[in-house]
Structure 1
């Protein structure tokens, strides 16, 4: 099967581990995968064979700094037009769009070509707003357009039953939603192999954005009720720069108020290679 993975939000597979593993896994099952990502303006070949069965094509206007959702949305027409031309000449069997702006680009490019489009949102704007990850002042286009995308594609892949419930409340037919929980590479994350240094306490680890203040504050409150445990928080800026980070300072104050400072380690940014030992 020829599968088109559309990732308008990214400029390479190197910066998106999940996309890289997904394409590699599909190719390993005998499919031909083409990843369509955004140009970043730097000199680079338009097409490249990453490994057997996986090719990447860079298209669009070429703006490395277009990471803001409103900027990505503005670039959808310039991304979808060359996508349409490619699919008109070499039709994929199915398109899988990753995140909402990729969904818009895929629907526009696949129009009149009768190519089925599958959508993965990763997370929904309504859920991020509910959990205070998405501020009220931003994301209005996303919250307005995600339900329309979900109702227009042939299928939506949800990562959990909670996401499935949100999608149905947004008007996406339940019959078109498939729940596929996020996987874990058990060759990389397993009980054997290197182990990070630790104390004799039971250890809890969370990998999180320090901006998720409410969720992490709740976790700190829970830690205060488990006196024999310690918590490692991996995320945020590099450890050497934590003291200058406002989100870290707010959480450190919460830890101090709960008298758990000695049992919390803010590890800062942790590289991919350091996660399995942790």
Structure 2
């Protein structure tokens, strides 16, 4: 597994240990765990602009923690008027819909003004039913959680999933994040007990923000190797061409345009792009229109197929049918699709960014290529398509890598260890900074 920055006792230097199960000296008692995921509900349909890997992560982590005997409550924003306050997700896990802002879908970049009310709700609920540990996901969840957790003296871990500094660096003027994002991310990192990063690249970014390495751990995202498996039904192929697949949110940074440009250099292949609005609304989506126009300009419109957002249950069949899965994002905080493809025994060609560099083992499980380079993407993909034996070897190696490093039960065990260690070794009380107190 990726090495993890494990915090020792109070104010001790960082220790670097291989990720493992929980310490046998820690108490085995079940915990009441509160997860906070303000925009990424574990109940959401994937593929929309704000529904992707974080939704998967929160749902799977909650389930794996419940499998370890814990009771998990996920707090997410109510985005429809008819949603019940509490919804069972599975045994040991329930979702609470928090009234914060209008009960309708809102872009996540517009949610910050509603985080004060979200945080007030958390404080009231947690005062009545205190959790043993709180774990927020994404920076605005951290904003909502920070004040309540500190006021109630609750152990508080945070996972960013994406960083404003990285987004701003890549998107520049196209970045629609609130201007306060980076400042708030720093406040959350300074105010929580532990920051749980998902890859080594993120640790470097956190250190550049000024966060203290002693309070940073690395635990990757995971995958369910039973749901995502080489065994099972596939999807019907339209033609006898090689099948390339890209799955994810349909936003420019995910690189679907790059996949289409690469396809123009691979004459014996077709591309399925899964993501975006569901089929009835798909043709009206601006990004779909842009990509269709690009495909037409490059002469590959007949070889590019858009499915719209897929129900989670249909994703494994598509991945295991693909000859190669493409993950050419401009930047990727972690990227869960490569793991899902590898679990299905399918080789991956991914951009050498972020979490891809931890998950894709080049050349054993696929290829890592320069981001933003359609020629490099096409060459690496064509090389795999030219050799069935190489694809089979990459697929088998990817499956082994997932089983040994990225199962959700291992992710939950490492996270459980952090929770318990955090509760037992609470560092000296750190009051909110004046800036954080004013914002909260």
SS in 1 for 2:207: helix
Report the Cα offset of residue 29 of structure 1: 0.5
2:265 corresponds to 1:225: yes
Other-structure match for 2:155:
116
SS in 2 for 1:75: helix
Alignment partner of 2:305 out of 257, 265, 268: 265
2:143 corresponds to 1:104: yes
Name which of structure 1's ranges 242-251 and 125-134 shifts more when overlaid on structure 2. 125-134
2:209 corresponds to 1:180: no
2:73 corresponds to 1:34: yes
Other-structure match for 1:135:
174
CA distance in 1 between partners of 2:304 and 2:84 (Å): 46
Give the length in aligned residue pairs.
Answer: 277
- Structure 2, unaligned stretches of length 5 or more? 1-30, 45-54, 319-440
SS in 2 for 1:218: helix
SS in 1 for 2:152: coil
Alignment partner of 1:5 out of 24, 35, 39: 35
Report the Cα offset of residue 240 of structure 1: 5.1
Does structure 2 conserve the Cα–Cα contact (< 8 Å) formed by 1:158 and 1:178? yes
Aligned residues: CA RMSD: 2.8
SS in 1 for 2:111: helix
Please give the per-residue CA displacement for 1:217-236, whole angstroms capped at 9, x wherever unaligned.
22223333333332211122
- Structure 1, unaligned stretches of length 5 or more? none
Please report the TM-score for the alignment, with normalisation by the length of structure 1. Answer: 0.85
Does structure 2 conserve the Cα–Cα contact (< 8 Å) formed by 1:207 and 1:235? yes
SS in 1 for 2:228: coil
Other-structure match for 1:14:
43
Report the Cα offset of residue 110 of structure 1: 1.1
Cα gap change, 1:200/1:8 in structure 2, threshold over 3 Å: closer, same or farther? same
Does structure 2 conserve the Cα–Cα contact (< 8 Å) formed by 1:159 and 1:182? yes
Does structure 2 conserve the Cα–Cα contact (< 8 Å) formed by 1:69 and 1:139? no
Cα gap change, 1:112/1:189 in structure 2, threshold over 3 Å: closer, same or farther? same
CA distance in 2 between partners of 1:241 and 1:57 (Å): 29
Cα gap change, 1:133/1:237 in structure 2, threshold over 3 Å: closer, same or farther? farther
Other-structure match for 2:250:
210
Does structure 1 conserve the Cα–Cα contact (< 8 Å) formed by 2:57 and 2:221? no
The structure with higher relative contact order (CA 8 Å, sep 6+) is 2
